[in-house]
Amino acid sequence: MAVLPVLTWGDPRLKKNSEDVGAWTPELEQLVADMFETALDEEGVGLAAPQVGVNLNLAVIDCSCGEDPSQKLILINPEIVREEGSQVGPEGCLSIPGIREVLERPQKVAIRNRAKDGSWHELEGEDLLARAFCHEIDHLRGRLFVEYFGPVKRQVIQRRYQKQARG
C-alpha cells in the first residue's frame, strides 16, 4: 500500500464530474487499498478518487479511522436515494487542509451502491456516516464542501486557506 498525493483546492481535476467504474480489476483493488492508506495517513474519514487525480466514481469511507476494519466502505458509482432530517456540524476536507467549517447536512442518508461483483445494494448511514456519504459523493460530482457557502464567506475561507498554505 502507498500513500498517494492529495490534490488541493484550486486544482481543476477536483471540478470534474467522475466517470462510472466498469469491471472490477486488480488495479482498482490496489487503488482502493492506497486510498484507505492515504485517508488514514491524512487522518480523514473518507477519500474520493478525484482527490488523488483519478476521475472515477469511486470513494472510500472509514468512520473508525482505522480502528475497526469492518467499518471500511467502498463506494462504487454511488447515488443518494433518500435523505432525512438535518444535522449541523463541523466539516473538513483533505483537499482543503486545515479548514473546518460548520455545514448543514442530512441526518440520515440512503445510497444506491455497486458492489465489486457488479450487483447493486442500498447502504444507509446516519450522523457522521451520512455526512461522509454526502461529502464524498459531492467530490464525485466535482463539488467541494466550501461551495455550499455564499460567495463572501467562500472568499473569506479561501483567503484563510491561502494564508495558511503560505505558512
Which letter does DSSP use for residue 151 in this model? H
- Position 166 scores a pLDDT of 83
Active-site residue identified among 42, 83, 84, 136: 136
- Binding site residue list for Fe cation: 93, 135, 139
pLDDT tens, position by position, 93-138: 999 999 999 999 999 999 999 999 999 999 999 999 999 999 999 9
- Name residues whose C-beta falls within 8 Å of residue 29's C-beta, 6 or more positions apart in sequence: none
> What's the one-letter identity of residue 128?
L
Confidence of residue 3 (pLDDT cuts 50, 70, 90): very high
CA 67 to chain centre: 19
Model pTM score: 0.96
On the question of pLDDT at 12 being above 90, the answer is yes
On the question of pLDDT at 29 being above 80, the answer is yes
On the question of pLDDT at 1 being above 90, the answer is no
Distance, in Å, from the CA atom of 113 to the CA atom of 81, rounded to the nearest integer, reads 10
pLDDT tens, position by position, 48-92: 999 999 999 999 999 999 999 999 999 999 999 999 999 999 999
Distance, in Å, from the CA atom of 56 to the CA atom of 20, rounded to the nearest integer, reads 6
On the question of pLDDT at 43 being above 80, the answer is yes
Level-2 CATH architecture, domain 12-166: Alpha-Beta Complex (3.90)
The per-residue b/e assignment along 84-111, b for 16 or more CB within 10 angstroms, e otherwise, is: eeeeeeebbbbbbbebebebebbbbbbb
Distance, in Å, from the CA atom of 139 to the CA atom of 134, rounded to the nearest integer, reads 9
Residue whose grid cell is 484563510: 160
Picking from 4, 21, 127, the residue whose alpha carbon sits closest to that of residue 74 is 21
On the question of pLDDT at 167 being above 80, the answer is no
Catalytic, 136? Answer yes
Residue whose grid cell is 479511522: 65
Task: Give the burial class of 119: count Cβ atoms within 10 A of its Cβ; 0-12 exposed, 13-18 middle, 19 or more buried.
Answer: exposed
